[in-house]
Amino acid sequence: MIPLIAILFTIMPQDYINMVMKEDYESAVKYCKKMINETKGYKWYLELGDIYFDKLDEPIKAKQIYQDIIDKYPQKDGWVYYRLGLVLETLEDYLNAAKAYEIVATKYRQPPLDSFSLSGVERCFKKNYQDTVALIDGYRITRLELDEMMAKQSPFAKKDERGTLDQMILERLLYVQALKNNVKAMQEYKDLTKQNRTILLLDEVRAINVIEKAVPTEKEMRDYYKKNKHFYKLSREVRGKEIVVESESLAIFIRDSLLKDKASFDTLAKIYSTAPTKTGGGEMGIVIPGTKPKEVEDVLFSVNLNTISDIVKFENKFGIYLVYERKPERWRSFNEVKSQVEAGVRAEKIQKIEEKFLKDLKAKAKIEIFKDSIITDSALKSDTRIVARVNGRSIKFRDVEIKNATQPMFARLDVSKPEEFEKVLESLIEEDLKLELAERNKYYFNEGFVTKFNEGKKRALEQALYTKIVMQSAKVDSNEVQEYYNAHKEDMKILETIRCKEIVVNSKKEAEKIRDELAKYYGERKSIIPFLNRKAKITDFTMFDSLAKTYSTAYNRTRGGDTGPLKKGTRPKEFEDIAWKLKIGELSKVFLVGDSSWTILTKTEYSPTKYRTFNEVKAAIEMNLLREKQRQIADDYRARIKNEADIKIMLPEPEKNEEEIKPPENPETPPKE
């Protein structure tokens, strides 16, 4: 439901809205002050407070304005008190924030304001709860907050209250340090917060204008069920067991045995069946039409239950079947599939409502698209080229490029093509209009936005603080990198490797026959005159590869016997004694590895021991040193802020089990008499 505050502010002047949309808050403040002087009532005074609270992050000024309105204007509404509650909550004045929310909940009971204020009361109640588990410089963490954090953990995680509390304490310390270090002034914080705000506002726009309106009615769901009933049809099915064999005579023997003792089906299936179901005693599970050969299905869907079927011949096999359950074809009832139907109706409604919502949004807007500026070879720079205007706000070529670049890789388009560029531009225009709607209707006061946005701001503060304290402090100079390289040069060593091809067979006779064929092919010659001997020199491994693929029993036979790179100590000694002595292209003798692996080798590569050069590893060393420095700085910083803080833990010490209490045994100490 759209907040009632929307009625007051949807008629805000376009020139003012454009100031807010362009983040020209200085001009927006001046505009508000001008309108305060020129108009009656507190409308523009309230708007000024909203600028200070939501846009400029100055809650103290916003608090003064909201309180001033409450004090001076008797005809105020509940939204002023609700705003005051939010501001006081931001300022950690939880007691008075709760009082403001309670006024809304009791005196201004109108949706959605009542539910928003009740959520505020609940948040403040957790902070005002008297059972305190920790104090950090006077700031309280209550039992309810700790319990809530524990409940968010995975049910599989170890329940560690103290560990969770320590993390909450650290988060508080980091938050305070971020404020002390003026992290809010950092561009990184501003960018992270803006990105988070945009995402949450777009989510809120969709939730209010699309999702909430797409709730299916009972009639819509029943109509959808009737229209799509064919999707809920269940085929007929059977459950049973099978024994499949290759021999008809064996099938006859098994069937005769089953006719005498049907209970032996599982045992006979495990002994004789060749089907994958044999290990489960022939259990087929659920069988539906189209999953078995026709001859088999004809029997499965016709044989009497709990009787041994006749022998079924199919695909040169013989099967025997026992069906113990059969279900006819049927349609699942509406109640059975109601959740699926609801999801289907919701999806259809969401699509239609969203299309109409965007169409109406664009119809009410003034949109100008300058197609001539979209041509990518324009002389104008992308950051000055205006490609569209939306209600007087310019969209530049560069804005479209940035929008496209922030999408996941699979969703990015080629914006050098005008038609692709226009698709991204269309998306950007729709997003801009949604954000304007969110600003006009002040969705940033909605409960669905408030909690998530505040959590996001804390994460952004931590991230920016880490950048300032750790990343900007950690530096590594070239001398450190060089010194590390010199001190750890042995770690940069690349051990010598060889690469071979092998043929492995199970008999010496077969191995010698293959080697003779290789020797003959590669020109090896033996003579009683030594100088006439000639060793094989392999330069083309085609023949070796072919014989390896044909005869070898090794795992690498499909790769022509290629062993891949080998280091010393990775293969059996018999293998390495031969392999490391071979020259490249030389054919080994037949040798035995283990009990029965007769092997023939040739060496294809040799890489001597070497060291990675400094330039090869410089970047990796620098990164590792930088990460180590960052880790150390972060650890030291966390330890320092904990040491400087006044931290009191009120949790009771965890009870130790008997194993922890039992003193360690000391064999040198004699037992007492």
User: For 612-645, what is each residue's pLDDT tens digit?
Assistant: 999 999 999 999 999 999 999 999 999 999 999 9
Identify the CATH number of the domain in which residue 535 sits. 3.10.50.40
Q: pLDDT-based confidence at 427, cuts 50/70/90?
A: very high
Q: pLDDT-based confidence at 137, cuts 50/70/90?
A: very high
Find all residues with CB under 8 Å of 599, minimum gap 6, and list them. 502, 503, 504, 511, 575, 578, 588, 590, 591, 592, 593
Q: What is the pLDDT of residues 341-362, one digit of tens each?
A: 999 999 999 999 999 999 999 9
pTM: 0.78
User: Which residues span the domain enclosing 264?
Assistant: 236-328
Establish if 508 belongs to a structural domain.
yes
Q: Is 650 helix (H, G, I), strand (E, B) or coil?
A: coil
Instruction: Please give the pLDDT value at position 669.
Output: 47
Establish if 208 belongs to a structural domain.
no
Establish if 604 belongs to a structural domain.
yes
- Residues 523 and 578 both lie in one domain: yes
Identify the CATH number of the domain in which residue 84 sits. 1.25.40.10
- Residues 21 and 115 both lie in one domain: yes
- The answer to whether residue 380 scores a pLDDT higher than 70 is no
Number of domains in the chain: 4
- The answer to whether residue 38 scores a pLDDT higher than 60 is yes
Could you give the CA distance from residue 373 to residue 382 in angstroms, rounded to a whole number? Answer: 10
Q: pLDDT-based confidence at 9, cuts 50/70/90?
A: very low
- Residues 48 and 116 both lie in one domain: yes
Answer with the one of 608, 633, 655 that is the final residue of a domain.
Answer: 608
Answer with the one of 553, 585, 608 that is the final residue of a domain.
Answer: 608
Instruction: Please give the pLDDT value at position 75.
Output: 80
Q: Which of 2-16, 174-188, 314-328, 509-523 has the lowest mean pLDDT?
A: 2-16
- Residues 261 and 320 both lie in one domain: yes
- Residues 512 and 603 both lie in one domain: yes
Task: Please give the C-alpha separations between residue 31 and each of 34, 51, 435, in angstroms, as whole numbers.
Answer: 5, 11, 21
Answer with the one of 608, 626, 653 that is the final residue of a domain.
Answer: 608
Q: pLDDT-based confidence at 383, cuts 50/70/90?
A: confident
Contact 353, 210 (CB under 8 A): yes
Q: What is the pLDDT of residues 431-468, one digit of tens each?
A: 999 999 999 999 999 999 999 999 999 999 999 999 99
Establish if 33 belongs to a structural domain.
yes
Instruction: Please give the pLDDT value at position 157.
Output: 77
Establish if 370 belongs to a structural domain.
yes
- The answer to whether residue 10 scores a pLDDT higher than 50 is no
- Residues 305 and 389 both lie in one domain: no
SS (H, E, C) 322-366: EEEEEECCEECCCCCCHHHHHHHHHHHHHHHHHHHHHHHHHHHCC
Establish if 530 belongs to a structural domain.
yes
Establish if 148 belongs to a structural domain.
no
Task: Please give the C-alpha separations between residue 143 and each of 60, 154, 464, 536, 599, in angstroms, as whole numbers.
Answer: 29, 19, 29, 83, 72
For the chain, give the mean pLDDT.
Answer: 92
Q: DSSP characters for 200-254?
A: HHHHHHHHHHTGGGGPPPHHHHHHHHHHTGGGGEE--EEEEEEEEES-HHHHHHH
Contact 449, 18 (CB under 8 A): no
Q: DSSP characters for 35-46?
A: HHHHS-SSHHHH
State in Å, rounded, how far the first CA of the chain is from the last one. Answer: 81
Instruction: Please give the pLDDT value at position 8.
Output: 41
Residue type at 501 in one-letter notation? K
Q: pLDDT-based confidence at 530, cuts 50/70/90?
A: low
Contact 300, 325 (CB under 8 A): no
Instruction: Please give the pLDDT value at position 318.
Output: 97
- The answer to whether residue 7 scores a pLDDT higher than 60 is no
> Of the candidates 106, 101, 103, 128, which has an alpha carbon nearest to the alpha carbon of residue 117?
101
- The answer to whether residue 665 scores a pLDDT higher than 60 is no
- The answer to whether residue 533 scores a pLDDT higher than 80 is no
Q: Is 70 exposed, middle or buried (0-12, 13-18, 19+ CB in 10 A)?
A: middle
Q: What is the pLDDT of residues 41-63, one digit of tens each?
A: 999 999 999 999 999 999 999 99
Instruction: Please give the pLDDT value at position 560.
Output: 96
Q: Which of 153-157, 202-206, 262-266, 279-283 has the lowest mean pLDDT?
A: 153-157
- Residues 10 and 120 both lie in one domain: yes
- Residues 17 and 120 both lie in one domain: yes
Return the axis-axis angle of helices 187-209 and 338-364, rounded to nearest 10°: 110
Instruction: Please give the pLDDT value at position 153.
Output: 87
Q: pLDDT-based confidence at 334, cuts 50/70/90?
A: very high
